[in-house]
Amino acid sequence: MTAQATSQQAPARGIKWSTVAHYALLIFLALIIIFPGYMMILTSLKRQVVIMSKEPVWMFAPSLANYEKILEQENFLRHLISSIYVGIASTLLTLFISSWAAYAISRMKFPGRGLMANTTLLVRMVPPAVLTVPIFALWGRWENLWFQQPDTAPSLHTTYLDWIGGSALCTANGDLMDALCNIFSDGLLDGRLGLILFYSALNLPFIVWLLVGFINQIPIDLEEAAIVDGATPFQVFNRIISPLMRGGYAVAAIFTFRIAWNEFILALILTGRRTYTLPVKTSLFTSEEGVLWGLIMAMGTLIVLPPLLLTFFAARQIISGMTAGAVKG
Amino acid sequence: MQNRLSPQNLTPYLFILPAAVVLVVGLIVPVGNALYMSFFDWDMGTSWDEAKNIGWDNYVRMLWNDPSIWKSVWVTVKYTFWTTLIEMIVGIGLALALEKPIRGAAFFRTIFILPLMMSPLIVGLIWRYMLDGRTGVFTYYIDQLGRSFPFLQEYGFVRTGYLAEVSSALPTAIGVDVWQWTPFIFIIILAGLQGLPDDVIKAAYIDGANWWQMTMQIKLPMIFPLIIVTLLMRLIDVLRALEVLFIMTFGGPAASTEVLSLKIYKTAFESRDLGYASSISMLLISITLILSLVILFYSNPMQQEDR
């Protein structure tokens, strides 16, 4: 996969026009790719007056007003924690369960193995939009259940609400967001457990697929030696396979965390005013009192930051993960 | 192969069990639930007890009595067709042009995956901002360009709101998707090209094949399976995608960018028709299922060991 980096080094004599054209094209493409991100950061540093001018402004006194405004909002920290919590929890859950499944699919022969491998791949195609309605319905019903049995369940329910600081979660604007908020803010505690479950389920097929590839590359001799020494399959997995899979875990973690961190629709449906993830919070800037581009771009910059850092530190691993799925086929 | 460490006992199932539980609870139950709900007339805001079982009525309405569904299907087809076609052609073309290893390639590849790492919501918002009719940077400069080159105006390239006009919204949305996803195709095809066995390429050179013959008769046929799998994966992902369009146009103007995913969302949460939205879900999921079965037929890496 990385062979091309070492196999050919351009001979260092003279400048070839084809090489110049090659770089020129690459730089041109890179500019196209980067431009929207550049615009985002630029706009996040503009004051509202500058943003609203008809003629694009390229030189201006940068201001951190948008960032200050976001950080000042008391809820920002809460939404940040929501995003981090959902991202890390779903990543851990996905890694654990999919590495076990990948180990079984890669190393063991059992009836139903082919079926398992195929179904895993098939469920990859479920569109998130399809999940919105049943999730809404299922969580809605749980919610109803709680309200219909005032003597039993709500004790836990209200205790929890008191604990996070009050129960007046939604204002009564009567808009769609508010309706969703009212119905879901408390569903299954606060919707975040649901998000963790659905992100894990949506990520699982791809991650199992990825990890099977990694396990297939591990030589089997070590395991056989361990089996001869009397190790159980679980010990073999924990002591031999798992430590050798750090690279695979890293790639898988980047993919799962990124999706959980970036996802918007399911988070919109499942989380409530207090537990919105950052993308959901950002989307609300488009409806409250017009479109607040400055705040949106500042928020966008903050949201893009972690994936951006991941990309620069682990580009090779990300690319290998992306190509692994397709190239092996 | 003696790759099987474990005899037929319960161990494999114990390893699989947690994954199976999560898949069943997180995906299969909700999809089954949607299937069940698709036979009901259920308004959002009313309790499930009031929902009426109406048999196949939702499907009859969807397939025969609702032109907006077919409009949405048509938008989906156009959107999927054009995004995938343009992305494949541009992606493969660029991969062929930039195939030669070059110093600094890793850096450029890092840049190219940035759009894929960004939140689709943010991507949608940035483009919506840049294409905005009043403050958008694109709108402004193309307008300026149109003043200098009147033919741009004649051909309709100069607009006041690219996402706000019926005739330009879908092509613009396609352009945004192309911006975001062409690098993905490019990187995968590039990996495929650079992974081709050296001896075949060298042999063809020695036989005097020129660049065109080399490309059309050796390289592309050799990575053809990869192209097909990439194409199908991309098709499915375009059908699944929803967030960029959601925030950029929300299906408008006049439903001209209302792909099926958005149609489901709007039917459920704007028209509040949960049962009907479920039946549209079944339509969408059938389409993606068929495409997935084709992929499965072409390649399932997890089964390679089986033979």
The pLDDT assigned to B271 comes to: 83
Between chains, do B295 and A121 touch, taking CB under 8 Å as contact?
A: yes
**Lowest-pLDDT choice from A175-189, A198-212, A257-271, B138-152:** A175-189
Closest chain A residue to B118, measured at CA: A304
The pLDDT assigned to B82 comes to: 96
**Lowest-pLDDT choice from A118-127, A156-165, B96-105, B207-216:** A156-165
Summarize the confidence of residues A52-66 as an average pLDDT. Answer: 83
In this predicted structure, the answer to whether residue A277 has a pLDDT above a threshold of 80 is yes
- Determine the Cα–Cα distance for residues B56 and B190; give it in Å rounded to an integer: 48
Per-residue pLDDT tens over the stretch A223-250: 888 888 888 888 888 888 888 888 889 9
In this predicted structure, the answer to whether residue A289 has a pLDDT above a threshold of 70 is no
Classify residue A1: in a domain, yes or no. no
- Determine the Cα–Cα distance for residues B279 and B168; give it in Å rounded to an integer: 30
Q: Which residue has the higher pLDDT, A193 or B65?
A: B65
The pLDDT assigned to B74 comes to: 95
The pLDDT assigned to B3 comes to: 46
Between chains, do A36 and B33 touch, taking CB under 8 Å as contact?
A: no
The pLDDT assigned to B302 comes to: 52
Q: Which residues contact A56 (CB under 8 A, 6 or more apart)?
A: B137, B140, B141
**B199: chain A residues, CB-CB within 8 Å:** none
CATH code, domain carrying A189? 1.10.3720.10
Between chains, do B229 and A227 touch, taking CB under 8 Å as contact?
A: no
Region class of B149: left (phi > 0), else alpha (psi between -120 and 50), else beta: beta
The pLDDT assigned to A97 comes to: 94
Note whether A38 and A187 are same-domain residues. no
Q: Which residue has the higher pLDDT, B263 or B214?
A: B263
Interface test with A, best of B125, B235, B250 (most A CBs within 10 A): B125
Token output for B90 = 């541009």
SS (H, E, C) chain B: CCCCCCCCCCHHHHHHHHHHHHHHHHHHHHHHHHHHHCCEECECCCCHHHCEECCCHHHHHHHHHCHHHHHHHHHHHHHHHHHHHHHHHHHHHHHHHCCCCCCCHHHHHHHHCHHHHCCHHHHHHHHHHHCCCCCCHHHHHHHHHHHHCHHHHHCCCCCCCCCCCHHHHHHHHHHHHHHHHHHHHHHHHHHHHHCCCHHHHHHHHHCCCCHHHHHHHHHHHHCHHHHHHHHHHHHHHHHHCCHHHHHHCCCCCCCCCCCHHHHHHHHHHCCCEHHHHHHHHHHHHHHHHHHHHHHHHHCCHHHCCCC
Note whether A40 and A149 are same-domain residues. no
- Among the partner-chain residues B15, B101, B126, the one whose CB lies closest to the CB of A36 is B126
**A22: chain B residues, CB-CB within 8 Å:** 97-98, 100, 102
pLDDT band at A287 (very low <50, low <70, confident <90, very high): low
Classify residue A6: in a domain, yes or no. no
The pLDDT assigned to B178 comes to: 96
* Residue % of chain A over a pLDDT of 90: 26
Note whether A172 and A42 are same-domain residues. no
Summarize the confidence of residues A183-201 as an average pLDDT. Answer: 70
Note whether A38 and A169 are same-domain residues. no
Per-residue pLDDT tens over the stretch B160-217: 788 888 888 999 999 999 999 999 999 999 988 988 888 888 888 888 888 888 888 8
pLDDT band at B126 (very low <50, low <70, confident <90, very high): very high
In this predicted structure, the answer to whether residue A4 has a pLDDT above a threshold of 80 is no
Classify residue A5: in a domain, yes or no. no
**B272: chain A residues, CB-CB within 8 Å:** none
pLDDT band at B281 (very low <50, low <70, confident <90, very high): very high
Q: Which of A30, A63, A96 is the last residue of a domain?
A: A63
Note whether A212 and A271 are same-domain residues. yes
* Residue % of chain B over a pLDDT of 70: 94
The overall average pLDDT reported for chain A is 77
Q: Residue A16 in 3-state DSSP?
A: coil
pLDDT band at B232 (very low <50, low <70, confident <90, very high): confident
Closest CA to A83 of A255, A321, A302, A317: A302
**B123: chain A residues, CB-CB within 8 Å:** 36
Question: What domains lie within chain B, and their CATH numbers?
Answer: 52-298 (1.10.3720.10)
Minimum distance, in Å, between the CA of residue B142 and any CA atom of chain A: 12
Note whether A50 and A154 are same-domain residues. no
Query: Does B109 touch chain A if contact means CB atoms closer than 8 Å?
Result: yes
In this predicted structure, the answer to whether residue A34 has a pLDDT above a threshold of 80 is yes
What kind and span of H or E run contains A9?
none
Note whether A270 and A170 are same-domain residues. yes
**A177: chain B residues, CB-CB within 8 Å:** none
Interface list for B 56-95 with A (CB within 8 A): 94
Per-residue pLDDT tens over the stretch A100-140: 999 998 888 888 787 777 777 788 789 999 998 888 776 64
pLDDT band at B26 (very low <50, low <70, confident <90, very high): confident
Q: Residue A40 in 3-state DSSP?
A: helix
At CB < 8 A and 24+ separation, what contacts does A87-93 make? Answer: A87/A257, A87/A260, A87/A261, A88/A257, A89/A196, A90/A195, A90/A196, A90/A199, A90/A200, A90/A203, A90/A256, A90/A260, A91/A253, A91/A256, A91/A257, A91/A260, A93/A196, A93/A200, A93/B22
Q: Residue A288 in 3-state DSSP?
A: coil
The pLDDT assigned to A317 comes to: 84
The letter for the amino acid at A34 is: I
Summarize the confidence of residues A206-225 as an average pLDDT. Answer: 87
Number of domains in chain A: 2
Between chains, do B305 and A106 touch, taking CB under 8 Å as contact?
A: yes
In this predicted structure, the answer to whether residue A142 has a pLDDT above a threshold of 50 is no
The pLDDT assigned to A170 comes to: 45
Alpha helix (H) ranges present in A150-277? 154-163, 176-184, 192-217, 221-228, 233-236, 242-244, 246-262, 265-270
The overall average pLDDT reported for chain B is 86
**B262: chain A residues, CB-CB within 8 Å:** 129
**Domain carrying residue A137:** 72-327
Minimum distance, in Å, between the CA of residue A165 and any CA atom of chain B: 27
Note whether A237 and A323 are same-domain residues. yes
Q: Which residue has the higher pLDDT, A197 or A174?
A: A197
Interface list for B 254-293 with A (CB within 8 A): 260-262, 264-265, 268-270, 274, 277-278, 281, 284-285, 288-289, 291-293
Between chains, do B137 and A103 touch, taking CB under 8 Å as contact?
A: no
The pLDDT assigned to A176 comes to: 53
